[in-house]
Amino acid sequence: MKYTGKVKKLLKSVKIGDKVRVESQGEVFKGHLMPRAGASGGILVLKLGNGYNIGLKPDKVKRLKGPRRVKRVKVKAKNDKKKKSISILLAGGTISSKVDYRTGAVKPAMTADEIITFTPIIRELANIKARVLFQLLSENMTPKQWNIIAKEVAKEVKAGADGVVIMHGTDVMHYTSAYLSYALQDLPVPVVLVGAQRSTDRASCDTHVNLSCAVKAAISDIAEVMVCMHEGLSDDACVLHQGTRVRKNHSSRRDAFKSIGVLPFVRVYYPSLEAEFLRDDYARRDPSRKIKLVNGFESKVALVKAHPGMSPKLISSFKGFKGLVLEGTGLGHVPVKSSAQNKKVLSALKKFKGLILMTSQAIDGRVDMNVYETGRDLLKIGVLGNYLNMTPEAAYAKMIWVLGNAKNKEEAKRLINTSIAGEFTERSEVL
């Protein structure tokens, strides 16, 4: 609703959502202008940095300063030949979200131009082209979107991009990064997924730091699929995680993403953007290498977490499915003995016609179905994944990718047991 009367006069060219500075009764308030609160159009409402709203009487306002209206930068494809050319693909998520000050909701709605102008440092690092693929909160993505992203990245690389950055929601970014790791083979240049845990309207917004480090990663020598996010709680560094060995381990913290069972490839300090290499087992940039796009996918795959007293329906419901990824307990177990219901879980698994792949809900560590009889029962019925240490998420993306690309069941089994993109390691190391 619009403001009226004295407030309207006070606001002049200031618009809803603009950041303003208000002096009133000897105090200074900084915040975003909110829509008028209900019928009281005579009260000025600001959302302060701490998230609270404050109402101010126009009579008491001594001074109100709106934002400096910056002349809109027209982003031209001015090509600096000394710089690398980076393509940014927008896929939605918090990192490309704006707050709708009318509803208070955060929606992925930034334009490509807004992204580029919002973090100016990236244009100093590289020639930037940006375009929107789609604008989804990542929790709503499906393997169909993984397929689209893979195709569009390959298109950019074939068109000569020296690196690709994908701006992506964080909820399931690690599922997407795993799929892209399998689908984009023989990468000649870096592919970097980047997200934000806090949207740009918040003081703790991590967009600038993450995006700056991501573009730095994209012009680097590391021709891998990576995830670039905050390393810790302060703004001093990001890390580049291997696409198949990363996981979101906190619902809201900026350092939510962690490498599992390996170190990140690199730490990128901010704001210096200096790189510190933590590993050297990565593919090097090589523009002469031809990217191979292998982006089939099979949607009839389910991910099921085992638990005490689990219903056999968690298995039997997936009749006709091509693949089942189990998130077992411990070394890779599901309940199969000692109660009638457990035994039904085992028979449902026996009846399942597709491939079954075991992982562990402990997340870190290796599957070993040889130690206990529960595991041996599972091995006997052909459950795959023994001795591997894939995260459940990387394993789920792998099953979808394998079944979408393998010519037959035998090839699929072979691919499951082959490391395509570092999704399992030969040895476990104590980090």
Residues 287 to 316 in contact with a second copy, rule: CB under 8 A: 299, 301-311, 313-314
Distance (Å, whole) CA 47 – CA 30 = 8
In whole angstroms, how close is the CB of 295 to a second copy at the nearest point? 15
Question: Is residue 53 a contact residue for a second copy (CB under 8 A)?
Answer: no
- Is 248 in a helix, a strand, or coil? strand
Q: Does residue 365 bind a second copy (CB under 8 A)?
A: yes
**Residue 170 annotated to the active site:** yes
Residues 329 and 204: their CA atoms lie apart, in Å, by 37
Q: How many residues does the chain have?
A: 431
Report the distance separating Cα 287 and Cα 160, nearest Å.
9
When the beta carbons of 291 and 402 are compared against a second copy, the nearer one is 402
What separation, in Å, do the N-terminal and C-terminal C-alpha atoms of the chain show?
56
Q: Judged by CB under 8 A, which of 170, 200, 207, 210 binds a second copy?
A: 170
Q: By CB under 8 A, how many residues form the interface with a second copy?
A: 80
* Shortest Cβ 161–a second copy spacing (Å): 26
Residue 368 binds a second copy (CB under 8 A) = yes
Active site residue 98: no
Residue 52 in tokens: 């609270």
Question: Using CB atoms within 10 A of its CB, is residue 280 exposed (0-12), middle (13-18) or buried (19+)?
Answer: exposed
Query: Residue 405: enclosing H or E segment and its boundaries?
Result: helix 392-405
Q: Tell me which stretch binds a second copy (CB under 8 A): 43-51, 363-371, 403-411, 417-425.
A: 363-371
State which of positions 251-280 bind a second copy (CB under 8 A). 251-253, 256
Instruction: Compare residues 111 and 342 and give the one whose CB is closer to a second copy.
Output: 342
What CA–CA distance (Å, rounded) separates 263 from 60? Answer: 57
Sequence-distant (≥ 6) Cβ neighbours of residue 243 within 8 angstroms: 177, 178, 180, 181, 191, 193, 224, 225, 226, 227, 421
Specify whether 398 is catalytic.
Answer: no
Asked about 248 being catalytic, the answer comes back as: yes
Residues 209-248 that bind a second copy (CB under 8 A): 233, 248
Q: How many CB atoms lie within 10 A of CB 212?
A: 23
Please identify which residue in 327, 385, 399, 424 interacts with a second copy, judged by CB under 8 A. Answer: 327
User: The dihedral of CA 228, 146, 285, 421: what is its sign?
Assistant: positive
Q: Is 43 in the site for a second copy (CB under 8 A)?
A: no
- What is the amino acid identity at position 392? P
Question: Least CB distance from residue 416 to a second copy, whole Å?
Answer: 18
Would you say 22 or 90 has its CB closer to a second copy? 90
DSSP letter at 72? P
Closest CB 40 distance from a second copy, rounded Å: 24
Instruction: Report how far residue 88's alpha carbon sits from residue 153's, in angstroms, rounded to the nearest whole number.
Output: 9
Binding mask 100-139 for a second copy (x = CB under 8 A): -----xxx----------------------------xxxx
Instruction: Determine if 367 is a binding residue for a second copy (CB under 8 A).
Output: yes
Candidates 161, 149, 166, 169; CA nearest to 93 is 169
Choose, by CB under 8 A, the member of 116, 154, 157, 172 that binds a second copy.
172
Query: Helix, strand, or coil here: 74?
Result: coil
Coil/strand/helix, residue 310 = coil
Is 342 an interacting residue with respect to a second copy (CB under 8 A)?
yes
Q: Exactly one of 171, 201, 221, 235 is catalytic; name it.
A: 171
Q: Does 167 bind a second copy (CB under 8 A)?
A: no
Beta strand segments in 270-335, E:
275-277, 292-293, 301-305, 323-328
Q: Kindly state the smallest distance separating residue 224's Cβ from a second copy, in Å.
A: 22
Taking the complex as a whole, how short is the minimal distance between the CB of residue 335 and a second copy, in angstroms?
5
Residues assigned a catalytic role: 94, 170-171, 248
